[in-house]
Amino acid sequence: MGYVKLKIKDVAEKAGVSVTTVSRVLNGEKYVKDELKAKVQRVIDDLGYSPSHIARSLVRQKTNLIGIIVPDLTSSFYSTILSSIEEAVSLNQYNLLVCNINEDTDKEYKYLNIFKEMRVEGIIIMHEKLNDEIRQFINKLDIPVIFSSVCPEDQKFVSVIIDDYSAAYDTTNYLIGLGHERIAFIGGDLRDVTSGKNRYFGYLKALTDNGIPVVEDYIRFGNYKTQSGYMLMKEMLASEPRPTAVFAVSDDMAVGAMNCIHDHKLNVPDDISIIGFDGSQLTELVRPQLSSMEQPIHEMGKTTVYSLLDLIMDKPSAPKEDIILQHHLVIRDSCKARS
């Protein structure tokens, strides 16, 4: 079905309206009467095509370019997944334009505009704090968009993610299974649905399910970077009694916390166990090596690219819903059972 090229004319004919009207409905323009809009929409639905699907087939051009928006290139997670994405993109004779926005949504809007002007064939977004301007822009965009590792609320595009809530739940449960009860949590930004909110609620649920009280002093929120993990750990080391285990929602923050513990002449894992999240290259680069709840980074990068290519080529295999990959606990040397 994906191979049948539906023309805007076919929709117009079947709905008994002009091509311009269909085009206006597709573009979400306001000066179309509701009645007319419903009629056109019904035809589109009957034919089983999404508006973007039709619109796209009208303007598609081969540039072999894919644009990607990355929130922070110094993050070990993003630099690791970017390698996998680039590998898959190259294998398919596409070229990748990387735009780093450093969490700046103004930049994101600019770069999306540049991508549009350059007629990239597809866009990968790895950032989830979308403002209204950006939402509107990508919703109107005539280019396939896919989200990777994030899944912002209220948007119509496919995301390639893990189940962050369950992953965080499993991580906390692992520490509880080791006998820990004073489990500190170094979280992300709660405005980030995937990496902030879902991981936080997974942690809370595991504590509650095990009858462990939630201690406010053991909960901090950072910006995913090592320095922030270091500073937040420093605050928590002042707690009485101090935590016996720490769950940080990024490997970078976990390493920051680990360094802070080391600099305070305490030992990981003898005095405090630490577990990270992501499975970036950093986990094997530090000593002790960092246990981590791993996203299947390589698979995630590959799946993102192949799904986007399917969307670009309107293949029947193109994903219609979010793709949820499996998370894995990888135990290295940074956690220990409580004696």
Q: Residue numbers of the site for its own copies (CB under 8 A)?
A: 65, 73-74, 79-80, 82-83, 86, 90, 95-100, 102, 104, 107, 110-111, 114, 118, 226, 255, 259, 262, 281, 285-287
Q: Which residue, 86 or 164, is less far from its own copies as judged by CB?
A: 86
Q: Which residue, 57 or 259, is less far from its own copies as judged by CB?
A: 259
**Least distance to its own copies from the beta carbon of 66, Å?**
12
Three-state secondary structure readout of the chain: CCCCCCCHHHHHHHHCCCHHHHHHHHCCCCCCCHHHHHHHHHHHHHHCCCHHHHHHHHHCCCCCEEEEEECCCCCHHHHHHHHHHHHHHHHCCCEEEEEECCCCHHHHHHHHHHHHHCCCCEEEECCCCCCHHHHHHHHHCCCCEEEECCCCCCCCCEEEEECHHHHHHHHHHHHHHCCCCCEEEEECCCCCHHHHHHHHHHHHHHHHHCCCCCCHHHEEECCCCHHHHHHHHHHHHCCCCCCCEEEECCHHHHHHHHHHHHHCCCCCCCCCEEEEEECCHHHHCCCCCCEEEECCHHHHHHHHHHHHHHHHCCCCCCCCCCEEECCEEECCCCCCCCC
Q: Cβ distance 108 to 101 under 8 Å?
A: yes
Q: Which residue, 99 or 237, is less far from its own copies as judged by CB?
A: 99
CA-to-CA distance for 220 and 226, rounded, in angstroms?
14
Q: Which residue, 9 or 110, is less far from its own copies as judged by CB?
A: 110
**Least distance to its own copies from the beta carbon of 226, Å?**
6
**Least distance to its own copies from the beta carbon of 97, Å?**
5
Q: Cβ distance 265 to 205 under 8 Å?
A: no
Q: Which residue, 246 or 255, is less far from its own copies as judged by CB?
A: 255
Q: Which residue, 80 or 198, is less far from its own copies as judged by CB?
A: 80
**Least distance to its own copies from the beta carbon of 210, Å?**
33
**Least distance to its own copies from the beta carbon of 282, Å?**
8
Find, among 181, 172, 166, 163, the residue nearest to 206 by Cα. 172
**Least distance to its own copies from the beta carbon of 294, Å?**
17
Q: Which residue, 45 or 104, is less far from its own copies as judged by CB?
A: 104
**Least distance to its own copies from the beta carbon of 87, Å?**
8
**Least distance to its own copies from the beta carbon of 63, Å?**
9
User: Residue 107 corresponds to which tokens in the numbers above?
Assistant: 């930049």
Q: Which residue, 26 or 255, is less far from its own copies as judged by CB?
A: 255
Strand partners, 103: none
Q: Which residue, 125 or 255, is less far from its own copies as judged by CB?
A: 255
Q: Cβ distance 249 to 168 under 8 Å?
A: yes
**Least distance to its own copies from the beta carbon of 155, Å?**
24
Q: Cβ distance 308 to 158 under 8 Å?
A: no
